[in-house]
Amino acid sequence: MKILGIDPGSHITGYGVIEKKKDQWIPLTYGCLRTNSNSPLSNRLLEIYQGLSSIIAESKPNVLSIENVFFSKNANSALKLGHSRGVLILAAIQAGLSLYEYTPLQIKQAVTSYGQASKEQVQAMIMKLLRLKEKPPLDASDALAVALCHAHTNTNLQGMRASA
């Protein structure tokens, strides 16, 4: 079973694919899809869609787990994030992946046991849990945390399907 975790963003989208080998989850690939912040949003959305579609084609995950983020301070940022999540979800659904959503609190609790953990604390735990020798970018470690959240929360890999 391969799980693709996504930390969505309109400028930087983190991704990470993990797979269970024996009784250990191992990272297969991770990184960030970066878009030019000076490009029109429509171009960035296309880049995000195409980037994730390529990752799915190369890594062939069974499941996509995505962070369900809520912004209440800036409506414009929330809209852009919603658009990004939309194209990410579209790419997953078109590829036939099962889709699951988790809140930041659920992800942090699953990985660090502390719902208010910082990005750096999440990164440190990801390094320990996945036995990484080098620090992944923060957005990639967040994406790996989303994937591990699904793995830990759904030991039978069934759970809260996204309502999208």
What are the residues whose beta carbons fall under 8 Å from the beta carbon of 148, sequence distance 6 or more?
5, 18, 25, 110, 111, 126, 129, 130
Residue 48 confidence (pLDDT): 98
Residue 143: how many CB atoms within 10 A of its CB? 32
- The alpha carbon torsion through 149, 122, 29, 66 (nearest 10 deg) reads 40
Q: Is the pLDDT of residue 121 over 60?
A: yes
Residue 155 confidence (pLDDT): 58
Note the CATH architecture for domain 2-153.
2-Layer Sandwich (3.30)
Q: What is the pLDDT of residues 90-109, one digit of tens each?
A: 999 999 999 999 999 999 99
Q: Is the pLDDT of residue 161 over 70?
A: no
Q: In what helix (H) or strand (E) does residue 98 lie, and over which residues does it extend? A: strand 98-102
pLDDT-derived band at 164, boundaries 50, 70, 90:
very low
Q: What is the pTM of this model?
A: 0.91
Average pLDDT over residues 69-74: 70
What are the residues whose beta carbons fall under 8 Å from the beta carbon of 86, sequence distance 6 or more?
none
Residues of the chain by 3-state class (helix, strand, coil), percent to 5: 45, 25, 30
Q: What is the pLDDT of residues 17-52, one digit of tens each?
A: 999 998 899 999 999 999 998 999 999 999 999 999
How many Å apart are CA 120 and CA 10, to the nearest integer? 21
Q: CA torsion sign, 52 to 56 to 58 to 63?
A: positive
- Active site positions, annotated: 7, 67, 139
Q: In the chain, what are the domain boundaries?
A: 2-153
Residue 159 confidence (pLDDT): 42
Find the angle CA(71)-CA(74)-CA(77) to the nearest 5 degrees: 75
How many Å apart are CA 59 and CA 51, to the nearest integer? 12
